[in-house]
Structure 1
Amino acid sequence: MGHYITIATCNLNQWALDFEGNRDRIIESIREAKNQGATLRVGPELEICGYGCLDHFGENDLYDHSWEIYGQIISHPDTQDILLDIGVPIIHKSIKYNCRVISYNSKILLIRPKLSLANDGNYREMRYFTPWNRPKYYEEYQLPKSIAKLTGQLRVTFGDCVIETLETRLGCETCEELFTPQSPHIDMSLDGVEIFTNSSGSHHELRKLDTRLELISEATKKCGGVYLYANQRGCDGDRLYYDGCATIIVNGSVVAQASQFSLKDVEVISATIDLDDVRSYRNQKSASMQSVNRRDTYKAIHCDVELSPSSNVFNPHIVPTATRAIRYHLPEEEIALGPACWLWDYLRRSKTGGYFLPLSGGIDSCATAVIVHSMCRLVVNSINDKQVLADIRALTHDPEFTPTKPQEIAERLFYTSFMGTENSSKETRYRAKELARKVGSYHVDMNMDTLVSAVITTFEVATGKRPIFKIFGGSQTENLALQNIQARLRMVISYLFAQLLPWTRNKKSGGLLVLGSANVDECLRGYLTKYDCSSADINPIGGISKTDLKRFIAWAEINFELPILHEFITATPTAELEPITENYVQSDEVDMGMSYDELSRFGRLRKVEKCGPLAMFIKLYHEWSQPPLNLTAEQVAEKVKRFWFFYAINRHKMTTMTPAYHAEQYSPDDNRFDLRPFLINPRFPFASKKIDEVVSQINEREKEIKYNNISVD
């Protein structure tokens, strides 16, 4: 008659070191799971303390606090009569582990440490924890006195074991373990485990979700079983945004999928599954033979828990959850939603007065403004959520504020300014003013020529020399210095306005957070002034390529009904730091000596594919020597050498980069996961010599081919 079990997993917006807030969200998720009829609840990785505690994991207090909070959770009356899988950091024999703690009715059944730690890209788990790299090995763990008193247990099993209930077997797999070549779920499935839990702290990157969900689907498509994936969601206190998407998959097919981007602090999904479906799926000759041939088995922790109390009685009201297609967002939607959710978390948790953005009229600051507009839209669409409503009222210091349009939020929390000079065009000034009007920001249109002139005059009085622009006969040194004066003064004005603009409007709130708007390609190339208005508090687009930003703006023009965005897309990218004449308009791509598309390719080869100058040249020669580009070996070599030169001489700028929303793996942010030196020989002399040798070999080979073709003719 079927063995029906209702199980639940969740997205939780946890915050590093917010122990009491994290506790409350965990308890709320357990309540929701029970309300949905679930007898098993799975939560995200390290949900007690927050995943992103970083070097705070080195503090012993954190582990003591985590145990205290865990005790409050499992002793709470609302957390009884449900099997709980909760993420807790634990010290065992003086060694720190990333663990799952399985409990039922205030009794701990198993502490399962993570076997494989994430230690690449953004992740540094081996800096804080030790992997339990002993599959199927277990020991006894002595509980802290307070927990022992609460549970009535002195010791519990600690290690790689499984749970056996009256109907089935459950096993834990934590985040990174899913991505390893020998994932634990394979061995567990061959030892009779039918339900797998995966608790994760997986961050958002553009176009990454399909990789994650394909691995989860494949896990049970090959082995059979039920897979519950839980994830952290939100800004955990750093550059990353954890993008939720908790999922339940049965035999390779999705039966429940939570949202990827949302302002909900707690989102619980559940599904009713029939264990007989798993058993039928697994009843194949090859799988059954592999199972009975295995001699090394897991220790099973027996628990007299009945997950499906109606298994022997037919109940027409219990219906298995139907399968559904996996839901993915377009990359343009990911840009609209991910950074917007990140901005909302940053704003409500920092409790500042809003955001200030230098709005230049170019596409980068435009994209940043549109992302803030998207944040306001999300808040309006989520205003029925009690926490969202409470947060917006707290931020605006208005207990009656219930916005109905995104512009109503922007008018109170979003400030923009066009900081023009004599080098600014009327077109960029108009675009900035019109966009500000459409999104509803409090906009200041100003000129700062008197400030620029004052600085230049101060220099002239001190030195007796006055610099002039290159087009008027000045040197490149003078030209660059005059551009940088304007850029750096904008940073000074930005912070002045961020502190005082709310005061000019008699607002009760404090200062504003300054938003940067340098994209990942310009950061990689170093095409920005150090300590200019790229130096901000946070940067929503610092991990997004120019190419993707253009696509996002084209998408937002239609989906956000902002026709003014078309003018941003078609405008030539320019810094407008040099005078405009009849014969000259400054162009970003001309200044950089490379296109934005080329920069994106350079960036991915450098960081993601781990190419040095020579390897990059060889790969790009094979790509760019073909149609439609048809570049010569010399042309490709020149582009590669130019990129590495400017990347190297501008590395020092990366040490001061504004904390940016992480969206691309090739971000040069050296404070987190691009740990390269910033003082190196920018000519890369040995690699350049090797490139020249390869170019020579290519030319000789082409001459031979040409000669042989002529001889044949």
Structure 2
Amino acid sequence: MKDGFIKCAVASAQVKVADCLFNTQTVLQLMRQAEKEQVRLLVLPELVTSSYTCADLFLQQSLQTGCLEAVAAIVEESKDCELLLVFGSALVVEGNLYNCAVVVHKGVILGVVPKQHLPNYQEFYEKRWFCTPRDGNREITLLGQTVWFGTRLLFQNVEIREFVLACEICEDLWVPDSPGIGYALAGATVITNCSASDELVGKEEYRRSLVAGQSAKLVCAYLYSNAGEGESSTDLVFTPHNLIYENGLQLAQSYGISNTLLITEIDVQKLALERIRMQTFNADRSAYRTISFSWKVGTCSLTRFIDKAPFVPSDEANRSERCEKILMLQALGLKQRLAHTQSKSVVVGLSGGLDSTLALLVCVRAFDLLSLDRSGIVAVTMPGFGTTKRTKGNAVQLAKALGVELKTISIAKAVRQHFKDIGHDPAVLDVTYENSQARERTQILMDLANSLNALVVGTGDLSELALGWATYNGDHMSMYGVNASVPKTLVRHLVKHVASQSDPELKKVLLDIAATPVSPELLPASSDGTIMQVTEDIVGPYELHDFFLYHAIRWGFGPQKVYRLASLAFAGEYDDAFILRWMKTFYRRFFSQQFKRSCLPDGPKIGSLALSPRGDWRMSSDASYTLWKRELDTL
């Protein structure tokens, strides 16, 4: 439960039609198993105390009494459980029979939510037995308890305030104006669905798409429990199908399995933070009644998948599709800028590294989209004091393979003159030594672009912008930055993706570039030509920084939670001390380097996170990171 994680489960209970005694024992067994697994929320199917397919037996007093006795037994069993249980049962309330979701915790019936939309078409005849509830809430007496009954009930945890639960029942999800919409707008972050959806050809996929869409548009966790084995097969077949989604993402699914808990953890803190960001969940909540309950708060062990590369799809097919989409978005952005400025030429600094390679590949795509001759792309390699034979050679081969113009302009003489002008000792390999080279290269690109009536295309990526790993008014500046929202961990995959579609000559050079260590090459290479200035040795692994960036900035998590997630995601690869060391570097640099992001050139957004001051990220350059540092210091 710490950090907003709640261990939850759904299950399809095996039932016998109209046998409330058998069904009760099944429910109790699942409850005990869930409590043993430290589950805090368990959702069971619609009408589980009786089974869904009782038909006209629902009108028999014996079955109605059996359902009530089943509820009583479940409530009694819950007295010593931390478990919050949501299950379906038929209940007589004030002389009418309702199809209900019952919410129980520690021997208390927190509330009863009647099904609002009763299907009465094709194979469904629910209005034959059940009453449609009137809108609103009222208090009733049930099993000697005063209980809230109604269509506008929310259940909120006292300790984890972001956990606010609401209940839909089967058809409530399928209708155009589902109750979940109102629940979510009123504050519900978790919606459960006790369901009995029969199985038909294609229905499994449709059911899954409904749950995915509902959880995405409502920015909620959605827990769906379908009827299990034992339902009548007179005219229908029921197949267990359990789903747990969070904001459109499937966390867990089981199909065809009864009496087995489907367990994962939902992150209600993440959902609450996303809603704060969106500012669309601010509807009038006065019509809804919130019922509070308490949990013992402890650390929830995490079993849900934590992706150590959140910007990179792990599935090869999905990754290839994502790469193609990103390349097209980058190219479309540049295409529009070229068309608007009526430019038929671009200048790009080509180092033989990953970022400049990607930028050049985007230029080629944009020119092809505009049916412009690739000779209008001027790639400029500018060898300096740290340039290696490998990177320079790759730059030359790449330009040749792509059919673009290549210019080679050495910066050594100009930089030495600059050192002399400002009185800098070239033997002192400090920040002045490095940045003078970066700014000289940018000056060459800008002036060359002016002479050609061209645009300078920037090469810097999202990860470098987050860390401020760019020379201010050097490689930090361009006329259009095509890589500005592409994280470093994705750049390599984009280059490899193009390689996979290329002829042997181009493929060979692209793969070698992808295998080259990331380096600005501003310090002299070793005597054997090996790169001496490896970026990740200085600022830390980019896969860690991209992970920090995603969770800290995209989702707004605090350092403690980011650290916890990173420790789990990179377990066995990096130890905790190593992760913490580079986390501190990330936060320190992210706050201190905002001034560079405050004056970024234009560039296209391609994913859910960008740092443009005109788009996703507005931040004072003087913001203090004291609060974040204080939290880091406790780790």
TM-score, normalising length: structure 1: 0.43
Bigger-Rg structure (1/2): 2
